[in-house]
Structure 1
Amino acid sequence: MDSTDRKLILLLQQDSRLPNAQLAERLNISASACWRRVKALEDAGVIARYSAIVNPDAMGLKFEAIVHVHLTRHDTEALGRFIAAVQRRDEVTECYATTGQADYHLRILCRDIEAYNEFLEKFLFVQPAVNSAQTNVVLRRIKSNAPVG
């Protein structure tokens, strides 16, 4: 990967809808060379997918939290069930298995605190592998969706 590939990746992260001709012009390369680079980056898995960045507030999702989940069970079957259940929930926008005190960290988006409480009571706390959870409410986003480069 060279500096042109890195600049191409940055441009696509800023606006993945840029036409190939505009990308090529900004990179000062031919349109065919640009297309080949994009295709090679896709084939190599560097570009995993294209998506839209949505404003949660505009979608009515006013409550955001980071939840630190502590498990009681760490066997393969219990973990598999927990992970599968988390993946099915729309409120969970991100989930990370990490080192440290908590086993998993979930980013949650809901319409309000009542919806979050329902998520806790009817979903998270009924998962057999879950021992406890600590919630940190997000007051404001400082940096998100930053380009990788």
Structure 2
Amino acid sequence: MSKKRTTRSLDPFDRAILRIVQKDNKTPQRQIAEQVNLSAAAVQRRIAAMEKAGIIVANAAVVDVHAVQMGITAIVEVHLKDERLDTVDNAKMLFHDAPEVQQCYYVTGGISFMLIIVAADMTAYEDITRRLFAQNESVARYRSLIALDRVKAGSSIVIP
């Protein structure tokens, strides 16, 4: 399930472009070009090259969960019964393919996975937990933490 990793190195222009498009990927390329002192065509080529190299992995909108009636955000720690490759790979595939799972991390420290899940309400969330965890023989146990407030989401990473 790991994404393609690139060996392409980023120069200062690439890094400056990434800082801008992370804040707003709809920024016109001519405006980016002015900010980084390149031509619009050069910016376009660099963005296309970073997409091809897997540096830019998606152009997506961050949606307000309340606007789409997804009132429950849960942070879930999942403990698998074992860490065999087939068990882990099957869990990765299951979690990756579940549309309610917004983020999924395979982690160290005695926990197998950390997931961020959104649901319309607690009834829907219970259905999700039954399907992904309770009825899954590979899951030893799981623990849900229900978010009281979404303080920060969809943030960009710091590009040095």
Q: TM-score, normalised by structure 2?
A: 0.84
Aligned amino acid, residue 63 of structure 1: I
Q: Is the 8 A contact 2:133 2:141 kept in 1?
A: no
User: Residue 23 of structure 2 is aligned with which of 1, 14, 33?
Assistant: 14
Counterpart of 1:147 in structure 2 is 156
Unaligned runs of 5+ in 2: 1-9
| Superposed displacement of residue 46, structure 1 | 1.6
Q: Is the 8 A contact 1:65 1:107 kept in 2?
A: yes
User: In proportion to residue count, which structure has more helix?
Assistant: 1
Q: Is the 8 A contact 1:65 1:136 kept in 2?
A: yes
| Superposed displacement of residue 11, structure 1 | 0.9
| Superposed displacement of residue 101, structure 1 | 2.5
| Superposed displacement of residue 71, structure 1 | 1.1
Q: TM-score, normalised by structure 1?
A: 0.90
CA distance in 1, matches of 2:113, 2:136: 13
Unaligned runs of 5+ in 1: none
Aligned amino acid, residue 34 of structure 1: V
User: Residue 77 of structure 1 is aligned with which of 86, 94, 106?
Assistant: 86
Q: CA RMSD in A?
A: 1.6
| Superposed displacement of residue 44, structure 1 | 2.7
User: Residue 40 of structure 2 is aligned with which of 31, 46, 49?
Assistant: 31
- Sequence identity, in percent? 30
Q: Is the 8 A contact 1:63 1:110 kept in 2?
A: yes
Aligned amino acid, residue 112 of structure 1: D
CA distance in 2, matches of 1:43, 1:119: 35
Deviates more, 1:60-69 or 1:132-141: 132-141
CA distance in 2, matches of 1:35, 1:127: 46
Counterpart of 1:121 in structure 2 is 130
CA distance in 2, matches of 1:138, 1:72: 26
Counterpart of 2:115 in structure 1 is 106
CA distance in 2, matches of 1:116, 1:136: 12
| Superposed displacement of residue 110, structure 1 | 0.2
CA distance in 1, matches of 2:77, 2:136: 14
CA distance in 2, matches of 1:43, 1:122: 36
CA distance in 2, matches of 1:41, 1:91: 28
Q: Is the 8 A contact 1:74 1:129 kept in 2?
A: no
Matched, 1:53 2:49: no
Deviation string for 1:107-141 (max 9, x for gaps)? 11000111111212233111111010111111112
| Superposed displacement of residue 77, structure 1 | 2.4
